[in-house]
Structure 1
Amino acid sequence: MEYIKSLNEWVGNIIKQKKLSVIPYIVTAEERMDPVEGIWHHIPQTKTAQLSLLYKNGLKEDIYLRQEDNKETVISRRLYNHSRSVIFLKEIGLHLENINLGGRQEDDYFYHLENPRIYGRMIIRVDQHRTEKAKEGEFDGVAGTKWADPGVVSERIGASSYQPFPAILLSNLQNTIGIVHGSLSQRFFFHNYLVKHKENFLQWDVISSFKAVDYREVSTGESLDDISYLGITEQADNLEKVFERYIKTLRRYLPPLYGAKSVNRNTVLWDSWNDDVKDIDQESIFAVAEFIRENLPTVEWVQIDDGYAKESEPANGLGFPYEVGIDRKKFPDGFKIFTDGIRQRGLRPAVWIGSTVPHNTRLFKEHPEWFIDYSYRTKDVSPLDISLQDVRNYICEALNFFTKEGGFEGIKLDFWSYVFEDSHPLLKEKKCSGYEWRRWLLGEIRKRIPSDGYLQSGCDIVMANPFLAEFFNNYRYGIDVGDGDWRNFLTNFQWATACVSLHIGDLFIPNSNSVGIFPKLPDSGVRTIITFCLISRSMVEVAGWLHLYKEHPRMKWLKKALCCPNNGQDVFFADYQYRDETQLYGPSIWFINTPHFSLLEGIPSLPVRTVAIFNLGDSPSQYNLNAEKLFLPKAQYLATEIWSGETALLAELTEINIPAHDSRLFSINLIDGAPQILDASIKIVSVQRIDSNLKIEFAHKGDLGLVLSQKPDRVKLNGSQWEPSIQKGKNNWILEGKLPVEGTMELEF
């Protein structure tokens, strides 16, 4: 078939596989079908081609190919039901054979963001039996198991319910070249993959399937579209560069994104779940809100989590309005009075809504037909079947209860994704896929909250799927770590490594977990959690009854960490080889190109890097820092340890001893002869050098701690003489005082 030969040549030239064989196919409820007819049309001038296909059941397909450059192509598949009957379509695919990844066959591997989420590892070799590597466990109703929930272990890559970044890399450990495929649309389909060796070559199926239904009904005259990317990378050994070319193309195809807005980016929300704040009531929340207003100016939201219902075991959210079961002992005047009270305290109200319904509720007992059978994974709760019109009507009423009647402006949507992201057949009606119903639900929520309100994803934990950012502002990728279990921290660390390495935080804000005082944990554990959330630029939440710990020594840490959130900022790694399986959990050294206390980059007298070093091991270890690791030009630099306040020459940090399960956080300043701001506890908006003096603008009032490389002779605040405490530190000077208002400080040296 000449049209297949032309397709083979086109795709083979793009991914540098001269012997490539490509066969398009479809799978219906009855059988798999290859095309029976085809016409190939190529326009060299525009670097485009079209392959028109006909299948024996009357389904027509047009495959449009557009070459982006000599290393990548966009593949658009449009299917049209030309027959006189409904077609029960399961999936469509491209079967590729005769792929050579260059290197020993046993070193062929794939990388997908699903890998760490399910299997606890970055790369998986093609010949590795994945079912032997997963550690299946019972479903954890709070956040899922650390490894694999029942039903997700599969030979199909990318088919889990964990909403992973929609791309795959195929490469070889002896090679830096790899093949990348990724989604450019999730309107109908999701992409998943089968890879295996056949004789001396790799065999690869790129499959476009439907979520939550075993097939989708395609009516006469109806068409479905699927768009994807196929290309090569020459940096398959660099985790931060693996998907760089795909992401550049993806940015052109994504719709406008709420995740790209400023909400949750430079402010934080307080939530009532972590740090032993599960037993909530209006009076206590008002008290913590008043403390936040006076002490934590970057906290904008108060979010109440599960616990507001009369019957809250197991967790209930979306089914709750059916019973109007507000616990009046906790919220005596109902939600509207509560949310108005939050606004009166200068903050904004948000609410947790769980999307599964417990079996002991009136809603489940009176309408069992509204629910899907999810017993393979959850025994005492079930999701609503959103394919049913009565269910959709009820959901709209429930959302109105929380937003229009209750007055909440932000929503954490938890346990929401099962009927949209699960690859098992769940929905009764087959006229739409799970992704189509996903758009419906999230669109209905966005209609009901302000444009500057937020929508946050909960379980299933998301692995950086940017298509969700069309509706969500931030995504929880991390499980709760406040119990101090180091294994949970390692899991979060590994998942964060995969997510932030993509450098798409400007599109979709990652959310690690809450920071807090955590009084039951040791200092080193709390300091490491705070350092991790700060350096990963995913510190969206703070938790705990903070007003009860005003004088706690850790409150100083917390205020400093929260002084200048910049969630979604690009984060970089040093000395990390993701293909080295001894570096299982991620890099030890993370850094950003700004101070932690300012959004300013490349401004003289401010730090040029903020660097965190983590000892993930079970015994003390030694680390070193230098300019080259941090991609800095050769020069002399100062390194200031943020938590201890000690300063040294960067060149002297050749033996940094860190105990097990601990961390260090440094700011790095260029030595250029002028005074340097080494650290600050209040956000700095601008810095000007005037001769040898500094003019600093602060964003907020509060307790100021300013670490300087030189001692100032005179200090002015908003034009008036100011007498803060100035003490000699370790190789630095520490200025402390209470800023009564935000404003400008002038330092004369």
Structure 2
Amino acid sequence: MIERRDFLKKVAISGVALTSANGLTSFTSRFPDTPNNSEGQGIIEKEKDTLSAVWKFDFDERNAQLILQNLNVTLKGKLRFLSDDTPWMVCCSRDGVANRNTLVDPRGDVQGYWVLNTVGTQLELLFYHRTAQRFAGRFSFEGTIFFSEDAFPCRTKPVVGERVLNLMSGFADSLLNDSLFSPKDDLLLQFTAANFRIQTVVKGEFSFRLSGRIEDAAETVFVFNMEPGYFQKRYIPYYQPIDRKRCPVVPTGWMSWNTYFDKASAEDNLAEARIGKKYLQPFGCEFWSIESWQGNSDQLPVRDFYNMNLEVNEKQFPKGMKALADEIRLLGFRPGLWMAPFGTGNELFYKEHHSWFLHDKNGKPISSWNGKYTLDPTVREAREHLREIHRIASREWGYEFFKIDGMSGRNSGYCAHLYERPEIRACFNDPSCLNPFELCVQAFREGMGEDRVFLACQGHTSGPEARYAEASRIGADIVHPNQPVVWSGVVNQASCLVNQVFTHNIVMIADPDTLLVGDLPLEEARTSATIVALPGQMTFFGDKLAGLEERKMKILQQTLPVADVRPGNLYPYFGTMPVWNLRIQHEFIGKYNVIAFFNWEDQRNFISTTPEELGIENQDYTGFEFWEKQPFNYKSIEKQFSLEVPPHAVRLVAIHPIKDVPQWISSDRHITQNGMEVSAMEWESKRMLLNGTVRLVGSFPLSMYIKVPRRYTFGDITCKDAKCRVIQNQDVLSITFQGEESGETDFSIKFKQKIS
């Protein structure tokens, strides 16, 4: 008999080169370079594609170890096959057929095969019977994946009828995950198997297990799909991950328009900022942004505003915009500015720069939402003007946050849509320009500078905004002009987020418009705050802060700072979805879920979900409801989580796997209940102490909730540098801390064991 290692030195089959020696097999499959879909716009050069999918394999039958490599990803694990709980050997080829490896039964006979095939960018690991053989068994591939440090597990295969919006914070794992994604490289590794599980070990390292059954004539296939340019090819041709140096945290702030509309003066803005300094700044409120400051901007429509010449409304802003920015900065905030510079209502400016604007075939000025006279960005002097006005506002006036309005929107009133219309393209100074809109967006960024935060108001991740801006206003205004916020505006916030969350905090930060709680009933205010805060969206407030009732001011505080949350599923949804599920991993608390049960209807409803929909094991859980401060318990025999929710309301429950010792289950610090205030926590079993450290904000009280198992009873608590008050409700301790200034407080909770 000629052994395989002697028979096969090197064989090429279907583009796969194989070599074998001493029981080791290696082979490489190459795919053509993947083209970049970015066409290059205006003066933007086409980006070079730097990623090509190349699979390399190594198998050592001595320990059944298979190594798969592609780009900067390595999978290393062991192949196993069990039939009737009896292990078979997983071996190389026994008959010299290249790339057809074997399943060998305990008697030493080849009864089945496993092969590695490439189909496009996919690698298939296929297991099947030898002809005429019938046996059942389970094949598995289990080991470790090494990927980029920024990679995270996620889901990329939609399922019809999904009811749960899945979100993640930290290295949170879910049984629903089927992929790994690296934002830095826009690189996706997707898995397909009858059973698949992936868990984070440390940054860039993951454990995995794929398994499936061979039943009679049925085969089993594991598929590994490497997709360079996952977002860029599917959804975002201008893909670029968020610049974390420019925008290390999600922006927060206050802006006037949704309450003052176009009437806010400099003093109105500063009066609100003084209140914000006391009640919001300690929690992380960062920007104070000025709206409707331009000449002729105190009366809608926006197309009449003097948007392009930096003329200031002297009645409302008598000291000018630089002085206002300086005063905002003295209060500890970073100043921000609203602009709508795609056009103007200033007739004199238009006449002086007639050639900068679009005209129809009869010479009539073309109007848009941004101005009676709409800019032609293919005119070089017009683009230079855009750069200059943003440079002045940024460098000379000192504004650090720019909200640029009138961008993509949903119709031709906004310039991205308008500029794409054939009849408008024919009117450009340079009709051959591929994307005039990008020329504007690029000019904005170049003018404001690389160190400023750019919010694209009505910006789309499908457009060039994704390359230049950090944040995107994802929906319409939450209010109509000079009207209070109503329930339909809150629902719109939710539906826009659900549709666009799949790119949030990866490409652009989602901006839901301002959070307004003052005019809403309490339940609706809680719902709006949950919509904004649970997914970690950009959080700007718009209420008149003077006179805002204490419990509603606390709602605003409970959204700050913005939690670091990213989507769990990297594809769009449509609708509102009744359940939002935030999976959290905390260094000291562990892994748990925070579930929002939304009732979008006008009558009370039971809102429910299942462990399977949440991507968690069906086991017993303990938890706590955030808004009504009620304990929550789940038994696995119930098979679904269900809560009765009032109309237009939300109930927000943190659920934890049950421990047999006292455990943290919630706090009132933040809507996400992500334990951002917990900087240390440890159970000391011998002394029956729960020791920890919490971060307090000023003199504002903080309450946290501890689940106490039946065999323990509360003894005492000691706190350093803070007052502590303890209330026991059934088996939950409510502990309220209150200090004199912001800082960390150590605590120790003493428990006693009950005598049965």
**Is the shorter-chain TM-score for this pair beyond 0.5, marking a shared fold?**
yes
Change (3 A) 1:489 1:320: same
Between Structure 1 and Structure 2, the one with more strand by share is: 2
2:286 corresponds to: 300
Please list, as runs of the form range in 1=range in 2, the aligned pairs for 1:716-727 lying within 5 A after superposition.
716-717=718-719, 719-720=720-721, 722-727=722-727
Which runs of no fewer than 5 residues in structure 1 stay unpaired? 1-12, 15-43, 52-62, 75-168, 175-227, 236-242, 579-583, 595-600
Residues 148-173 of structure 1 deviation map (CA, whole Å, 9 limit, x = unaligned): xxxxxxxxxxxxxxxxxxxxx99998
* 2:188–2:226 CA contact under 8 A, matched in 1: no
Deviation at 1:708, TM superposition (A): 1.4
Deviation at 1:536, TM superposition (A): 2.6
Output the CA distance in 2 between the equivalents of 1:304 and 1:531: 25
2:397 corresponds to: 406
Deviation at 1:618, TM superposition (A): 3.8
Please list, as runs of the form range in 1=range in 2, the aligned pairs for 1:231-380 lying within 5 A after superposition.
245=227, 248=230, 250=232, 257-261=241-245, 263=247, 265-276=249-260, 278-296=262-280, 297-314=283-300, 320=306, 324-359=310-345, 361-373=347-359, 378=369
Residues 29-86 of structure 1 deviation map (CA, whole Å, 9 limit, x = unaligned): xxxxxxxxxxxxxxx97432899xxxxxxxxxxx99997379xx99xxxxxxxxxxxx
Deviation at 1:640, TM superposition (A): 1.3
1:744 counterpart = 2:745 = yes
1:689 counterpart = 2:709 = no
1:679 corresponds to: 667
Change (3 A) 1:391 1:513: same
Change (3 A) 1:66 1:368: same
1:621 corresponds to: 605
Residues 145-196 of structure 1 deviation map (CA, whole Å, 9 limit, x = unaligned): xxxxxxxxxxxxxxxxxxxxxxxx999989xxxxxxxxxxxxxxxxxxxxxx
Change (3 A) 1:487 1:708: closer
* 1:275–1:544 CA contact under 8 A, matched in 2: yes
Deviation at 1:632, TM superposition (A): 2.4
1:589 corresponds to: 579
Deviation at 1:713, TM superposition (A): 4.8
Output the CA distance in 2 between the equivalents of 1:621 and 1:66: 50
The 3-state SS of whatever aligns with 2:614 is coil
1:553 corresponds to: 551
Change (3 A) 1:319 1:387: farther
The 3-state SS of whatever aligns with 1:591 is strand
Residues 563-596 of structure 1 deviation map (CA, whole Å, 9 limit, x = unaligned): x3125523569xx996xxxxx61421111122xx
Task: Tell me the TM-score normalised to structure 2 length.
Answer: 0.60
Output the CA distance in 1 between the equivalents of 2:737 and 2:648: 34
* 1:306–1:316 CA contact under 8 A, matched in 2: no
1:703 to 700, 717, 732: 700
* 1:264–1:509 CA contact under 8 A, matched in 2: no
* 1:535–1:611 CA contact under 8 A, matched in 2: no
1:666 corresponds to: 653
Deviation at 1:507, TM superposition (A): 2.9
The 3-state SS of whatever aligns with 1:709 is strand
Identity %: 17
Output the CA distance in 2 between the equivalents of 1:466 and 1:694: 50
Output the CA distance in 2 between the equivalents of 1:468 and 1:291: 34
1:41 corresponds to: none
Deviation at 1:604, TM superposition (A): 4.2
Output the CA distance in 2 between the equivalents of 1:659 and 1:650: 21
Change (3 A) 1:348 1:493: same
1:219 corresponds to: none
The 3-state SS of whatever aligns with 1:548 is coil
Deviation at 1:643, TM superposition (A): 0.9
Change (3 A) 1:344 1:380: closer
Change (3 A) 1:714 1:66: closer
Output the CA distance in 2 between the equivalents of 1:379 and 1:577: 29
Output the CA distance in 2 between the equivalents of 1:325 and 1:367: 16
Please list, as runs of the form range in 1=range in 2, the aligned pairs for 1:181-260 lying within 5 A after superposition.
245=227, 248=230, 250=232, 257-260=241-244
Output the CA distance in 1 between the equivalents of 2:612 and 2:377: 54
The 3-state SS of whatever aligns with 1:392 is helix
Please list, as runs of the form range in 1=range in 2, the aligned pairs for 1:34-49 lying within 5 A after superposition.
46-48=30-32
* 1:386–1:419 CA contact under 8 A, matched in 2: no
Change (3 A) 1:378 1:416: closer
Output the CA distance in 2 between the equivalents of 1:471 and 1:379: 20
Residues 588-632 of structure 1 deviation map (CA, whole Å, 9 limit, x = unaligned): 1111122xxxxxx24343671121111223433212355443222
Change (3 A) 1:548 1:702: same
Residues 183-226 of structure 1 deviation map (CA, whole Å, 9 limit, x = unaligned): xxxxxxxxxxxxxxxxxxxxxxxxxxxxxxxxxxxxxxxxxxxx
Output the CA distance in 2 between the equivalents of 1:647 and 1:315: 50
Output the CA distance in 1 between the equivalents of 2:226 and 2:461: 15
Q: Which protein has the larger Cα radius of gyration, Structure 1 or Structure 2?
A: 2
* 1:277–1:543 CA contact under 8 A, matched in 2: no
2:385 to 388, 391, 394: 394
Output the CA distance in 2 between the equivalents of 1:497 and 1:447: 32
The 3-state SS of whatever aligns with 1:724 is strand
The 3-state SS of whatever aligns with 1:622 is strand
Residues 679-698 of structure 1 deviation map (CA, whole Å, 9 limit, x = unaligned): 23264152221513131231
Change (3 A) 1:233 1:586: farther
* 2:664–2:705 CA contact under 8 A, matched in 1: yes
The 3-state SS of whatever aligns with 1:547 is coil
2:53 to 68, 85, 88: 68
The 3-state SS of whatever aligns with 2:562 is coil
Task: Tell me the TM-score normalised to structure 1 length.
Answer: 0.61
* 2:238–2:466 CA contact under 8 A, matched in 1: no
* 2:288–2:334 CA contact under 8 A, matched in 1: yes
The 3-state SS of whatever aligns with 1:398 is helix
* 2:498–2:576 CA contact under 8 A, matched in 1: yes
The 3-state SS of whatever aligns with 2:395 is helix
Say which is worse superposed, 394-403 or 528-537, in terms of deviation.
Answer: 394-403
| Displacement over 6 Å in runs of 4+ | 63-67, 169-174, 228-235, 251-255
Output the CA distance in 2 between the equivalents of 1:293 and 1:688: 31
The 3-state SS of whatever aligns with 1:516 is coil
Give the alignment's Cα RMSD to 1 decimal: 4.6
Output the CA distance in 2 between the equivalents of 1:267 and 1:404: 20
* 1:259–1:474 CA contact under 8 A, matched in 2: no
Residues 524-556 of structure 1 deviation map (CA, whole Å, 9 limit, x = unaligned): 22121111112232143222221332x432112
Deviation at 1:247, TM superposition (A): 5.6
Change (3 A) 1:384 1:266: closer
1:523 counterpart = 2:522 = yes
* 1:357–1:364 CA contact under 8 A, matched in 2: no
1:477 corresponds to: 474
* 2:251–2:538 CA contact under 8 A, matched in 1: no
Deviation at 1:347, TM superposition (A): 0.8
Output the CA distance in 2 between the equivalents of 1:463 and 1:405: 30
